[in-house]
Each structure stands twice: as structure tokens, then as C-alpha cells.
A and B are shown apart, each in its own frame.
Chain A
Amino acid sequence: MENVIEADVAVVGGGLAGLFVAIGAAEQGARVVVMEKARIERSGAIGGGVDHCLAYLNEGEPWDTRDGYLAFVKKAAAGAVDIAVHEKIYCDELAAAIKRMERIGCPMHDPATGTYYRTRSFGAPGAYWINFDGKNLKPLEAQEARRLGCEVLDYVSATKLFIQNKRIAGVSGYNIRTGEFVAIRCPAVVVATGATNRLYETPTGMPFNTWLCPYDTGAAQALAFDAGAELANMEYVRMTIVPKGFSAPGLNAFTGEGATFINALGEPFMTKYHKLGDRAPRNVLVHACLTEGAEGRGPLFLDCTKLPADNLHQLKTTIGTDKDTLPDYFEQKGIDIAEEPFEVEVSEGMQTGPLEVVGSGVKINSQCMSTVEGLFAAGDCADQMKVVHLALTGGYAAGRAAAQYAKRSPGDVLAAAEVAAERSRVLAPLDRRSGVHYRDIEDVLRRIMKQYVGPMRTEIGLKTAARKIERLKGELSNLKAANPHELVRGLETETLVTVGEIMAKAAQARRESRFIPYHYRLDYPEQNDAEWNGQIVVQKSNESITTEFRPFS
């Protein structure tokens, strides 16, 4: 067999979480290989920079403690968060993670004063968000992973997880630049490929104009599912509020600094929906905007014009840290946020955790292991991790746990015939003379997801979606790719279709509403904690998708 690399821990996805996985595993002495479809220095959701991280810091207030924070999480994320796992992978790791950021050269405090710039938003009881300069976090993290001796396979997109004797035997990948196919034999794989962001039709109709990284296409969720792992929290369709015309991050910064939503009557309206008003949880903000629009009070705007000078200054000077081109966009559109309210809209949907403190995807235990032995998950693709703070803490914890597991597991045989069959499967679209372009399949999928698996759902609509996706799947065997770049896009299409189908099935199973509008069943419009305080767990069984409700013990 050619191109087989031996490792202790393979990390699939070299984004923010994946590289902390690699660092955590390498510090345990493991031989680590990172598989990343771009270049680890600037890849993933925050390759272009990030500006906020959630943390309690014990600076005096009751909310600013471990207990205060956990009380908030328990209440806010009921039905989705496994609090014992959360304590282990976040609370137990937080202090070390903050120090690690400083050590790799990206401190979250102001180096001159030692203080943290903190803001409050999204339903939090206090200022949990640290605003920091993470413009170069990714290259600094990559430098540390390389310094520790991690082998990095840049430009390699993972295609399959191999199982032998019910445990992980390895993983294969395809090089987007050279067209080479590679396999890694290893006892432990940590998947860390993020959320599924290119799955729903966008407001502009441009599929790559998404709030979060459009190259995150649910690879971990789909590959782990195919390998037999359980997934959870997959029913939630997350949305946010973005500047009209540009799906860009920034809502946290705007509301954290005190911006106000106003409707077409010029009236602030968020206090009608939540006592925290513009600082309500994100799902409430989205629900309010959808409702105002549906009731004819759109267009909607964010008003920063009444902000104190300091807050306005902070906003104007840091808004490009998170999204580098947002200042260009405002400038070219003639928007000055200090002068007049700017129009906003609800973004496209995506598969990712319903709140900032809980994820969606591969179901993990407190060791970050999935239900498949040797398969771990970290970052946005894990059901108990989410965004920056859990990538920093849980990512590192997953790497450490995977390395410790690898030390006591011999691994298993990577069957040459299976690898060869996978290689043929992956390369087939390059040889087809006629067939379907990836984009044609994706565009149909995105419309189905928006129409039937969006913020308003019914059993009939969800069943309709599942049937349509089932039929659409047949087209995947006709995928045609002109070159390695298009072939990787086609691999992404495959995982998008898998994730879409799983979401439609998971959403059917939850016969109540929760985190409205992220799971808003018009046929079961109320939240029902007595019966539904737990997760919908999804698994592959006899080539079909099974769902099961599982309460938290």
C-alpha cells in the first residue's frame, strides 16, 4: 500500500480546535499528524482573525465564578448540555487555556495594563466576553503545533474513517493541490472540522457568502456518522443577524457595545421579546427579527448612533478583527455606523450548536471520545463544544485524552483492500466524461433545507425534506469534477447531503420546540421540559438513520 503514514493520533481539521488538539496530544509525547484541507496558518473559521472568547475570571462578582457560570449554562442550555462533560472539558481547563494563549503569543488581556476588556451580550448574566486581538491567533497556534513536532498534511481533505474490530484503524485523505491520496494508520483519530455552514440558501443567493466559514461542510459529522458514531443536537438550525447583504460576524460586538435594534416604525422592540432586550440570547434576537418582519414591521436596523464615544471607538477600531473585510463593505456601501442606523437581516441557517455554550455534532463523553472506540471529537463538530472558548479548552483536553488512549491501545489493521476501494471511490468523479457539477446538487439541497428544515418546521415538511434529500443522494454517484479543486468541493457536497438528511430526521424526532426559532415546530410550538429535557441521538443502523430521545441522567 502506498502513502500510509503511521501515527499515534491523527487530527482531522487544523482549525482553531484541531491545532489545540494537536498541541495537547504532542505535549503528551504522541506522534501527531494533522490533516487540513487548506494551510494551518490561516485555515478554518478564524483563519482571518477573531476578537472574542467567553470566560469567567473570578474578578469579584458572583456570576464571574465557576458556580455562577455553571448555573447560567445549566439554565440557558437545558436539554442540550451535558453539564458533567461541560465542567470537565471547559471549567477544569479554563485557567490553563488562558495561560496557554499568553504563552503562544496571543494574550487575551491588555499587555500594558493586565486587564481584560469585557462585554455582556447574548443572555449572559454578566460580561463573560473577553474582547481581544486575535488577528494572528491562527499563525501563532500553527507555529506552536509545528514547533512541537506535529506532522502537518496541508491541503489534504479527509474522506473516510476506517474501523476494524469496532475501533478506529485509520483515516484517508485527498490532496486538493496534487491529487494524491493518503492514508494514516493510527489508534486514535480526533475529528475537528467545525460546523456545517454551506447547507442553507443564503439571503444574497451566493452560497459562499455565509456568516461562518463556507469551507466547513460537516466532514466530521458525516464521517463519524458513517463510522457508526452517535451524533446529538443535530436538529437545531442556527441563524444570526447580519448586515443586509453581507453574512458577516459582528453581532456580538454590536450588541455587546450597546447597539439597539429598531424596526421600520423607528421603535426599539427587543424588550417586547426578552427582559434583557438587545442583550437577549441570540436565538431570541433572531426570533424577534423574524417576527417583526413577518408582522410587517421590517426593514430592521441596528442603531449605534447613540453609543457613548468610547464604545463607538472600540467598535470602529475592532470590527475588522473578526471579519477583515466588514469595514471595506461598510465603506463601499457608504455606511457610517456613527451617523445612521444600518439595515440588518436574518442570516442563512447552519448546523451548529444552539447556544454559545453547547454544540451540535459528534456525541462525546467527558474524555471527548465518541461512541466509537478511538474516535474523538473537538471544536464545533462535537455536541458539547462550541466556538473559541471551547476550542481552546476542550480542544486541548481532547488531544491529551486521545494521546493517553493511543498509549494504551495498539491500534488495528488498516485493511489495504478497503483503502484501495476508498481511493477508487474518491477519484471516480475525475474520470467521468459526463455528470453533475457539485454546485447543481448543492443548490437544490440548500433550497430544500431552507424551505423545509428552516426556522419553521412541521412533521410533514420535515418528512418531505427527507424524501427529497434521499432522492437527491442518487445524484452523488454522477458527480463530475474537472480537477482536484472541484473534486474536493464534491467531497464537501457529499458531507453536506449527509448532514442535511440527518438534520431533517433529528428534527422530526423532537416533538416540541426548543431554542426557538432554532427548532420551532409549528405542530408542537411549546417547549416541553417535562418530556423533552434531553438530546435527540442519531445513529446509522442498517444503512438508515435511527433517532432516539435520551434524557440527561
Chain B
Amino acid sequence: MADQLTDGPQIGDTCVGCVVCVDLCPGDVLRMEGDKAVVEYADECWWCGVCRVECPVEGCVQFKFPVAMMKG
């Protein structure tokens, strides 16, 4: 489980704080922390990619799949 806490959608330093990903995530897994979006419930991510599709900053959102998905 430990890896799932840090894996999932990765919001980069280029986040402009527009809140779009937080508002549109169908799983309600993202939150604002100050003026940046962060992943609050990474283990509830469905990998649907909506956060990246809607992010206005190219390359800001990336995905890191956990060991359970990558190595099994």
C-alpha cells in the first residue's frame, strides 16, 4: 500500500492553481493545498486522465503507476 500513497497522478511544480483538476476529478481525489493542486486520495484514482485532459499547462500532470500495476 505504501507506494500508492505517492503514486497516482503527479501534479508538477508548474501548477498554476486554476482548480480545474480538483473540480473535475470524478473521484474527488484531488485538493488544493495553498495555491497548488495535490493528490489527497491517490489509492482512489481510476486513472481516467481527466485531470491531465483538462489541465491548461502542458506537461504539468503525469501518471506514475504503482508497483502493484507495473511489476505483477
- Do A176 and B28 touch (CB < 8 A)? yes
* B63 interface neighbour in A47, A328, A488, Cβ under 8 Å: A328
Kindly supply a per-residue 1/0 record for chain B positions 10-44, scoring 1 wherever the CB is within 8 Å of any chain A CB and 0 otherwise: 00000000000001111110000000000011011
Residues B24-72 near A (CB distance < 8 A): 24-28, 40-41, 43-50, 52-54, 62-66, 68-72
Counting CB contacts under 8 A, is B4 at the interface?
Answer: yes
A316-352, CB under 8 A of B: which get 1 and which 0? 0000100111001100110000000000000000000
User: CA of A306 to CA of B25 in the docked complex: distance in angstroms?
Assistant: 38
Among listed A112-120, A201-209, A272-280, A517-525, interface-contacting one = A201-209
Quote the shortest CB–CB distance from A398 to chain B (angstroms): 22
A42 pairs with B69, CB closer than 8 A? no
Complex CA gap A329/B48 in Å reads: 12
Query: B69: nearest residue on chain A (CB-CB)?
Result: A245
Q: Cβ of B43 and Cβ of A42 under 8 Å apart?
A: no
Query: B69 touching A39 by the CB < 8 A rule?
Result: no
How many Å lie between the Cα of A44 and that of B25 in the bound state? Answer: 10
Taking the nearest CB of chain B, how far is it from the CB of A301, in angstroms?
A: 15
Instruction: Give the chain A neighbours of B28 by CB distance below 8 A.
Output: 37-38, 155, 176-177, 485, 488
Question: Are A324 and B49 in touch, CB under 8 angstroms?
Answer: yes
Which A residues touch B46, using CB under 8 A? 208-210, 213-215
- Asked whether A246 lies within 8 Å of B65 as measured between CB atoms, the reply is yes
A248 to B25, CA, bound (A): 18
Contacts between chains A and B (CB distance < 8 A), count: 105
Give the CA-CA distance A332 to B47 in the complex, in Å.
14
Shortest A75–chain B CB gap in Å is: 35
Residue interface bits A234-247, CB-to-B below 8 A is 1, else 0: 00000000001110
Whole-angstrom distance between the Cβ of A397 and the nearest chain B Cβ:
25
A258–B53 CA distance with the chains assembled, in angstroms: 29
Q: Cβ of B47 and Cβ of A248 under 8 Å apart? A: yes
Q: Could you tell me if A208 and B69 are in contact, using CB atoms closer than 8 angstroms?
A: no
The interface size bin for chain B is 20 to 34
* Cβ contact within 8 Å between A48 and B68: no
Cα of A213 to Cα of B69 in the assembled complex, Å: 17
Which chain A positions have C-beta within 8 A of B62? 328
User: With a CB–CB cut-off of 8 A, which chain B residues contact A44?
Assistant: 26
A139 nearest CB across to chain B (Å): 9
* A41 proximal to B (CB < 8 A): yes
B24 contacts A41, CB within 8 Å? yes
When C-beta atoms are compared, the residue in chain A nearest to B47 turns out to be A325
Residue numbers in B under 8 Å from A42 (CB-CB): 24-26, 50, 53-54
Residue of B at shortest CB range from A243?
B69
A206 proximity list for chain B (CB < 8 A): 4, 43, 66, 68-69
B residues near A38, Cβ cutoff 8 Å: 24-28
Given A38-B25, A208-B46, A488-B28, 13 further pairs, Cβ under 8 A: A37-B28, A41-B24, A42-B25, A42-B26, A203-B72, A206-B43, A208-B44, A210-B46, A215-B26, A215-B27, A245-B72, A325-B63, A485-B41
A residues sitting closer than 8 Å to B (CB atoms) are 37-39, 41-44, 47-49, 135, 155, 176-177, 203-206, 208-210, 213-215, 244-246, 248, 320, 323-325, 328-329, 332-333, 485, 488-489
